[in-house]
Structure 1
Amino acid sequence: MAITDFSKEYHERMFPGIASKLLETDPEFVERFDNFAFDEVVNQDDLEDRTRMMVIIATLIGCQGIDEFKVMVPAALNFGVTPVEVKEIVYQAVAYLGMGRVIPFLHSTNDVLTARGIKLPLEGQVSTTTENRLEKGVQAQVDIFGDGMKEFYKSGPQESRHINHWLADNCFGDYYTRSGLDYGQREMITFCFLFAQGGCESQLTSHAAANMKIGNDKQFLIKIISQCLPFIGYPRSLNALSCLNNAAAQMGK
């Protein structure tokens, strides 16, 4: 067996003129991984390359794959993911992984963009104000999850109700309302953040349903899981598929 022509061509599109050092130190491994990830998996479905790269970098943040993230962000840019889109993926990750886990990815993104001659900061994408972020956040929740979210920010025990309020004004009001990505893309990357980090089955099932409600259907989400499998492995991929199937069954899909 040797690295396939398709895999070689795909690798060259991702990393023009760059050969992996692992070809010298771990040739058998690279042969099998590249043929799987960049030929067999890529050719499994018709997901466009740009979307594939967006979900891969979101998944790498979710699984804390910082070294591979540094490698794949330039590939994402080469496939047409914009600097704004990369930044928005990183920013939104804070709501789902926390600043403690995301800050290395933000610094790495800045390093990659600066090295490519892209001036920072990028054009602002904020669309809310301090005064209307709650209102706009609630509306985003309603748009994605349905009318049942209108009063959700007021719900729950008194001692913890503030967290539901924060979900509305911070998670949705500060992040989902930003331009640069639409709701479908934001729910798509949230799905990736959740399945890549593991241990978030309840939220993953909920966001699988939200994805399907706004147009990211079950087959599309299976494509997302499939394309990210080489980067997160089988256990979390199979877990994501189980949560997706549960959400689809609850929705009668």
Structure 2
Amino acid sequence: MSITKDAINAHSFLKETDPEAFERLTNFAFKEVIDEIDLPDRVKMLSTLAYLLGCQGLDEYKLMLPVALYNGLTPVEIKEVLYQAPDYLGLGRVLPFFKVTNEIMVARNIELPLPSQATTTLENRLEKGEETQIRLFGPGMKDFAKKGTINKWLAENCFGDYYTRTGLSDQDRELITFCYLAAQGGVEPQLLAHAKANLGIGNSEEFLTKVVLHNVPYIGYPRSLNAISAIKQAAENK
């Protein structure tokens, strides 16, 4: 199987009604971009699902989730992209993606629920979340949770509940966070902060730029240009 072939087939319904759109859309998104951007298939699929969550591309997500399953992502990895999303996008925007994901997995005889990836409890999530923040963002995050209610929630919920889970590495989790934010738009301070965090844990400027370029077809040029600008600024300030 290949991303190009599977993705083109997934969009074949456009052939009869919109043949010119089908020709140019699939040529750009699934031939030109995929051929030119040198990334592992797993990274391409991981980032694309996070981008589609970020831009609320539910119909496109329905088409690309099976492509991801065929080309490098495990059900656990896909669920982890989903589980982490509400903290950056909100439950109101992510819940429809849960329904679609479960329907597609069940149709493919993937037994749900999947094995647990949790490593924290409700009792130690704050402590473990702060440890994770310090690991990713540096010692300045010590006692961050004491600065206000939302700071506490960020430490225990965002980082203690989700970043501590297995199934994805720190590099994967910071990558998909950057993708949510880049696709969402209007959150440039957070986008810059997570561009810096990505660089700090080994996701290079070149790598992040390739991820943005790979996903231009899904969110368009304005938000992609903003993401590349954030990467450049983060690299200059590293």
TM tier, shorter chain? Answer: over 0.9
Matched-pair contact (CA < 8 Å) for 2:11–2:63? no
The CA distance in 1 between the partners of 2:8 and 2:113, in whole Å, is 25
The CA distance in 1 between the partners of 2:193 and 2:129, in whole Å, is 17
Aligned to 1:47: 39
Aligned to 1:212: 199
Matched-pair contact (CA < 8 Å) for 1:14–1:78? no
The CA distance in 1 between the partners of 2:36 and 2:170, in whole Å, is 26
Aligned to 1:75: 67
Aligned to 1:200: 187
- The TM-score, its normalising length taken from structure 1, stands at 0.91
Query: What RMSD in Å do the two structures reach over aligned CA positions?
Result: 1.3
The alpha-carbon distance between structure 1 residues 10 and 133, as it changes in their structure 2 partners (threshold 3 A), is closer
Pair member with larger Rg: 1
- The TM-score, its normalising length taken from structure 2, stands at 0.96
**Matched residues, number:** 237
Aligned to 1:30: 22
Aligned to 2:158: 171
**Ranges of 4+ aligned residues in structure 1 off by more than 3 Å:** 13-16
The CA deviation at 1:19 is: 6.4
User: Is the deviation greater in 169-178 or in 39-48?
Assistant: 39-48
Aligned to 2:79: 87
Aligned to 1:3: none
The CA deviation at 1:247 is: 1.3
1:185 aligns with 2:178: no
Gapped runs of 5+ residues in structure 1?
Answer: 1-8, 156-160
1:59 aligns with 2:51: yes
1:12 aligns with 2:2: no
SS at match of 1:28: helix
Matched-pair contact (CA < 8 Å) for 1:50–1:80? yes
In structure 2, give the amino acid aligned to 1:169.
E
Matched-pair contact (CA < 8 Å) for 1:138–1:150? yes
Matched-pair contact (CA < 8 Å) for 1:208–1:243? yes
In the TM superposition, 1:94-105 aligns within 5 A as 94-105=86-97
